[in-house]
Amino acid sequence: MTRWLVLEPIPVFKGTSKPEDLETQKNIFDEESVDRAVARGEAGEVLSLGGKRYSWRFVQSASDIVDLTKAFGNLECVSAYAWAEIDVPEAREALVALGSDDAVKVWLNGELVHENWIWRPVAMDSDLFPVSLRGGRNQLLVRVQNLRGGWGFCCRVIGPASFRDKLMRFAAGGNCDEISLLVAHGADVNSRTASGLTALHVAQMNGRLGVVQLLLDNGANGDIPRPSQERMVNALFTERLQGDSPGAAVLISQRGSILYEKGFGLANIEKRIPITPETKFRIGSITKQFTAAAILKLQDAGLVELMDPLSKFIPDYPRGSEVTIYHLLTHTSGIHSYTEKPDFLKTVSTEAKPESLIASFKNDKFDFDPGTQWRYNNSGYFLLGYLVDRLSKGSYETYLKESFFDPLGMKNTGVHHRGGELANEAAGYSWAGDKFQKALDWDMSHAGGAGALYSTVTDLHLWNEAVFNGEALSKKGSSSAFTPVTLKNGSPPQNAGGGYGCGWAISSFRGAKEISHGGGLDGFVTYLARYPDHDMTIAVLTNCAPPRNLDPAWLSHEIAQIYLSEDMAGQESYSTDRSVDPGLYDRFAGRYEYPGGAVLEVTKEKDKLFAQMTGQPRFEIFPLSTCEFFWKVVEARIIFVSNDRGEIICAIHRQGGTEIKAPKLAEEAPARIDPAVYDSLVGEYELAPGVTVKVSREADRLFGQLNGQARFEIFPRSNVEFFLRVAKVDIRFLKNGSGKVTGLTYTQGGVEQTGKKIR
């Protein structure tokens, strides 16, 4: 469906657009008066609304996605209505697949058949819902309300040609509801991909026993042979690459032997140079394990101890006596990461001197007290690379070369230097709207020990073999590297995934222990994993960021399932328990506190339950039981836990092998204060260079907005103390001796920042 009759965009706000005001936009979306006016009129008629006339025009799209930005310009806070007709010879049931940017409603022959209040980019077939088509002409009306940014939609009736790919996706994700919907509409459960995979194969490899049984009950043939492992890995990459595009190098080895090694796509689009296993990629933060290994080797030589304070090596470093080398290695130092500074990317294309770069962040306020929290931190690893420089009496580059690269035969690994000629080097790309373009080219001196290395998949295989067979690290070093850090209070950090040692992430994937690290910078995304219980290495290096169609971590896990699925734990299959009474949903409504001050707000609307994390879209969650729910847009579930009195006290969120306990926040009633007080608080406050909080007043309400983020209402506890509901944030306004407001403190996730009032 590429040709639509579209009504000129209708503004949401009467005056200036306020894309950050989501509450008002939601109220307008729910308001039905304009919907009724459009539905009553005839497509093509001029429509009068609020004293303004709106005309219909034909919009023709080259694909199923209708780009409303292209048709009407980059408009925010507007709604567009689109008409189309569907002709069928006789009445039948059908499936409609829809994607939208952003919120959407759909009517068929005047009846509302679908709605979704959501903030998302347009993507094919995000929503799937059944409709009843009558014989002859059917009128389809779609409303798309753009909250901010680009906008568009894709709405189409799908049939058998689309069913196969969706069966594969839902089988992998364990989504029994959608599989049942597809089967009910005629999907062939034995259809195969180009590589020979069936939905049953996919469900089996993903450990989705519930889906396996569902497919077998609906006629799946268990005797169809599974394609070879090599063919399945080939398909993972070839199915995601089209035309001249960046790509990936991949290597799989087990027990020291390379099982698979191949390149896909182009290392250099302009010169049409293909990627091979010998292609050199910048590996980003995979560098951290090399830096950690260097520190651990220097410890073996007696030149440093992990409990040494940073002040021993940099005497003037603020709070350096509290920060240990171990804190730096495990991301528990509290030092603010320089790559999070708002102006960081403005300077990365020019050379950085280590001392100057350290000086740029050393006086920044700590994010937290050393050892009390975990937060991924590039400053710590830049400092560690600098210490390797000083302790080795040479240079970081020379020490890595002499200690690791040369002895292990890693001839294609080293520190990347801007302007140096590297044979077989991949160029980095980004996706710009509808084409690839060269990515921002870093001078890797800005990454240092946090991410300055380049390598190949073959060299990374050699590295993993040396690390996990005792050649690169001593027994003491290995113990430090692969033991997950605990915080000062003895607890593991909730936000560190399965755990983090010294330069390596320690986790499990479907019950299989995984020791890994990813990397990412403009133009490059990478992943190196080791499954020690299976002596398996998987390396995936890509030269496009963001990783359009090629996410190395996801691809690595898919590869692991292809080779190790028989030895992995099963995964949940999700099916909505339709016997659960929606009347129970009220008790789950409320706010739940996540690490870092994020809040998950759970709300009931009609007979549905929704969940929205701070700064993310709202999604419906579906009941697995009377207290457990799941998301369909991502593989995650949440269990609501009650006390002896039946009161919900917390939620347990499980996703990606991680479990987070989120306490339910007590509802806090705002204090009653004179709104005239707000006038003295209005203004702009600078928390750090380039980071400001803008406080504004509308009638009797006060709002705060961090630059670049959505605006949120803030509620009073007193004349100077305020709080947010959408996040666990406290704001306290500061006054001088004469009572004039001079600044504020902004506290989130245990981190307090002070900002002065600048206007």
What was the pLDDT predicted at 618?
Answer: 87
What was the pLDDT predicted at 759?
Answer: 87
Tell me the percentage of the chain whose pLDDT exceeds 90. Answer: 79
Cα 744 from Cα 724, distance rounded (Å): 14
| Complete DSSP assignment for 282-318 | E-GGGHHHHHHHHHHHHHHTTS--TT-BGGGTSTTST
Helices and strands counted in the chain (H then E): 18, 42
Q: Where are the beta strands (DSSP E) in 147-247?
A: 152-158
Q: Which domains does the chain have, with CATH numbers?
A: 3-158 (2.60.120), 275-492 (3.40.710.10), 582-663 (2.40.128.50), 675-757 (2.40.128.50)
Q: In this predicted model, which residue has the larger pLDDT, 657 or 120?
A: 120
What was the pLDDT predicted at 224?
Answer: 97
- Tens-digit pLDDT profile for residues 54-91: 999 999 888 889 999 989 998 989 999 999 999 999 99
Cα 503 from Cα 240, distance rounded (Å): 31
What was the pLDDT predicted at 435?
Answer: 86
Q: What angle do CA 576, 580, 583 make, to 5 degrees?
A: 130
What was the pLDDT predicted at 83?
Answer: 93
DSSP H or E run through 704: strand 701-706
Return the number of other C-beta atoms located less than 10 Å from residue 237's C-beta.
21
Asked if residue 706 lies in contact with residue 693, where contact means CB atoms within 8 angstroms, the answer is yes
- Tens-digit pLDDT profile for residues 366-395: 989 999 999 999 999 999 999 999 999 889
Three-state DSSP at 579 gives coil
What was the pLDDT predicted at 242?
Answer: 83
Asked if residue 428 lies in contact with residue 284, where contact means CB atoms within 8 angstroms, the answer is no
Asked if residue 335 lies in contact with residue 367, where contact means CB atoms within 8 angstroms, the answer is yes
Q: Taking Cα atoms as reference points, which of 106, 145, 115 lies closest to residue 12?
A: 145
Contacts by 270-273, CB closer than 8 A, 24 or more apart: 270/427, 272/244
Q: In this predicted model, which residue has the larger pLDDT, 658 or 680?
A: 680
| pLDDT tier for residue 169 given thresholds of 50, 70 and 90 | very high
Contacts by 533-538, CB closer than 8 A, 24 or more apart: 534/254, 534/564, 534/567, 535/254, 535/255, 535/256, 535/468, 536/252, 536/253, 536/254, 536/560, 536/563, 536/564, 537/251, 537/252, 537/253, 537/254, 537/460, 537/461, 537/464, 537/465, 538/250, 538/251, 538/252
What is the residue whose two structure tokens read 């009724």? 36
Q: In this predicted model, which residue has the larger pLDDT, 433 or 410?
A: 410
Average pLDDT over residues 474-483: 96
Average pLDDT over residues 43-47: 78
What was the pLDDT predicted at 673?
Answer: 92
- Tens-digit pLDDT profile for residues 559-577: 999 999 999 999 999 999 9
Contacts of 190 (CB under 8 A, 6+ apart): 198, 200, 219, 220, 221, 224
- Tens-digit pLDDT profile for residues 321-334: 999 999 999 999 99
212 has a pLDDT exceeding 80:
yes
| pLDDT tier for residue 19 given thresholds of 50, 70 and 90 | confident
What was the pLDDT predicted at 631?
Answer: 93
Tell me the percentage of the chain whose pLDDT exceeds 70. Answer: 100
What does the chain come to in residues? 759
Q: Work out the mean pLDDT of the chain and round it to a whole number.
A: 93
What's CA 133's distance to the chain center, in Å? 38
What was the pLDDT predicted at 17?
Answer: 76
433 has a pLDDT exceeding 70:
no
Strand partners of residue 748: 729, 751
Three-state DSSP at 582 gives helix
Give me the torsion for CA of 686, 688, 693, 694, rounded to 10°: 40
- Tens-digit pLDDT profile for residues 599-640: 999 999 989 999 999 888 889 999 999 999 999 888 899 999
Cα 368 from Cα 362, distance rounded (Å): 14
Average pLDDT over residues 646-651: 95
- Tens-digit pLDDT profile for residues 339-353: 988 889 999 999 999
Q: Which of 11-25, 182-196, 407-421, 715-729 comes out lowest in average pLDDT?
A: 11-25
Cα 110 from Cα 49, distance rounded (Å): 20
Average pLDDT over residues 745-757: 87
- Order of strands across the sheet that contains 92-101: 66-67, 152-158, 92-101, 127-133
Asked if residue 519 lies in contact with residue 525, where contact means CB atoms within 8 angstroms, the answer is yes
